[in-house]
Structure 1
Amino acid sequence: MSSLAHVSELGALDISMDSEGLTDINRRLNEASVHQRVEWSLENLPGTHIVSSSFGAQSAVMLHLLNTVAPGIPVVLTDTGYLFSETYLFIEELKERFNLNLQVFRAAESPAWQEAKYGRLWEQGIDGLEKYNAMNKVQPMKQALSELSVGTWFAGLRRSQSDSRMQLDVVKKQAQQFKVHPIVDQSNKQLHQYMTKHKLPYNPLWDKGYVSIGDWHTTTTLQEGMSEQDTRFFGLKRECGLHEFGDGDGI
């Protein structure tokens, strides 16, 4: 039996799917291709479906994948106002190339307002970073999930990116949404092969030594002896909180 047929037998999901049922779904989806995972999720998981993107080094893979299977799917960007200029130009390039349905969400207070009110939060240790990320990443994402009535959220997280992502499943329940990670088990080599096959561009910062790309003030190039997760937030933390909030957040 092919992987796709094996996955198709799962049928539609009940929103109240218990953990045992979700474990079985993930066991079968682990055997499927990235395209099959997306196709099954679009058919069986509740809408509205969205894909989030940071427009990082290899983000063109997820954007191409989702827009090939579901043209016009909303692409959610949480814009801090502190992305690299190269990233903003990369966003414009991919928006035009893929005809993206780009949906941009931002904090209620502008970057200049935040700096005047709180100072440079990213220079204030772990507490400052947590506050900065909550205002500029987590709250805008919650707003997006609410305003777009999101039922299923696709994200390009991969197990190899950090210790905190090593146990990620293809599908999980996060608050009121299903979260799908179609490329969760893909290596950098596999992503490169996909990008080469489809002639997709890397974020231009990749060629300057950046492997994980976020805000200019908390992102550094990969140096000898460092892991990918060390290049973000001064090595103090890996996650910005965007992919971590759960049921307690009332979404």
Structure 2
Amino acid sequence: MSSGKTGKRGSYVRTRSNALNALPKVERILALAETNAHWKSLTPKGVWRGALENLPGNYVLSSSFGIQAAVSLHLVNQIRPDIPVILTDTGYLFPETYQFIDELTDKLKLNLKVYRAAESAAWQEARYGKLWEQGVEGIEKYNEINKVEPMNRALKELNAQTWFAGLRREQSGSRATLPVLAVQRGVFKVLPIIDWDNRTVYQYLQKHGLKYHPLWDQGYLSVGDTHTTRKWEPGMAEEETRFFGLKRECGLHEG
């Protein structure tokens, strides 16, 4: 596995995900660990620029247009304004979320790509009932239909080889150990702001005149679908505000 030049932005592995996957497991783990050791010292812009220079295209950014979505969208807009921004629309987002999507898309001139399940929300309810009320198994089936399959389709149709996302360690225990760089679903997965805390997010938004999601002011720390999102209450962890506290992830960032 060959390495790129070492400079101000650190050392990057120049390879394609299929070549990385072809390595024996131990070598693959070591290669990613070595690269992540270099990436940890970079700013988010440094990670973005280094990834665009050293990892294969096509490039995509996924966004749920959640509470802090403006951060990643603004960052990439300064570096790669034409990058496809993938939204998986379940049909159950808050009205404020759809308004936020329109606002940010217009403000930042986003190259928005919306993907949805093959079955409409109404058709799903007719066939399966309200899956989100059917425990963990029902929630996982709902997420597979409305989040995972549309995202897999998006990655395939856009021929994505490098996927950026705005996950942060502070958001939940399930994200606490995520690396900056990994391989997921056969593509490189890059998390430029993984180490940012809530204060850093706030400072960035203030500096650039950007807004939180409209529901932030109503007490929401995390926003997904209307039926599986609740306001934060004293004593609750952020991850308990989603999926009735049964799980944190919707499936997009698992596996």
Q: Distance in 2 between matches of 1:144 and 1:160?
A: 27
Partner of residue 223, structure 1: 233
Taking the TM superposition and a 5 Å limit, the aligned residue runs for 1:16-165 are 16-17=19-20, 18-165=28-175
Q: Distance in 2 between matches of 1:66 and 1:10?
A: 19
Q: CA RMSD in A?
A: 1.2
Task: Give the unaligned 5+ runs of structure 2.
Answer: 1-5, 21-27
Task: Tell which deviates more after alignment, 120-129 or 14-23.
Answer: 14-23
Q: Distance in 1 between matches of 2:175 and 2:221?
A: 16
Partner of residue 249, structure 1: none
Deviation track 1:136-190 (CA, whole Å, cap 9, x = no partner) reads 0000000000000000000011111111111110000112100000000000100
Q: Distance in 2 between matches of 1:182 and 1:205?
A: 25
Identity %: 54
Q: Distance in 2 between matches of 1:67 and 1:12?
A: 24
Task: Tell which deviates more after alignment, 16-25 or 79-88.
Answer: 16-25
SS in 1 for 2:96: helix
Deviation track 1:42-95 (CA, whole Å, cap 9, x = no partner) reads 111111100000000010000000111101100000000000000000000001
- How many residues are treated as equivalent by the alignment? 242
Q: Distance in 1 between matches of 2:12 and 2:103?
A: 38
Partner of residue 248, structure 1: none
Task: Give the unaligned 5+ runs of structure 1.
Answer: 246-251
1:22 Cα deviation (Å)?
A: 1.2
Deviation track 1:12-37 (CA, whole Å, cap 9, x = no partner) reads 23533322111111011100101000
The TM-score, its normalising length taken from structure 1, stands at 0.94
CA contact (8 A) 1:209 1:221 kept: yes
SS in 2 for 1:117: helix
Deviation track 1:220-240 (CA, whole Å, cap 9, x = no partner) reads 011011000000000001111
Q: What amino acid is the match of 2:84?
A: P
Q: Distance in 1 between matches of 2:16 and 2:151?
A: 25
1:7 Cα deviation (Å)?
A: 3.5
CA contact (8 A) 1:64 1:98 kept: yes
CA contact (8 A) 2:11 2:35 kept: no
Q: Distance in 2 between matches of 1:9 and 1:127?
A: 42
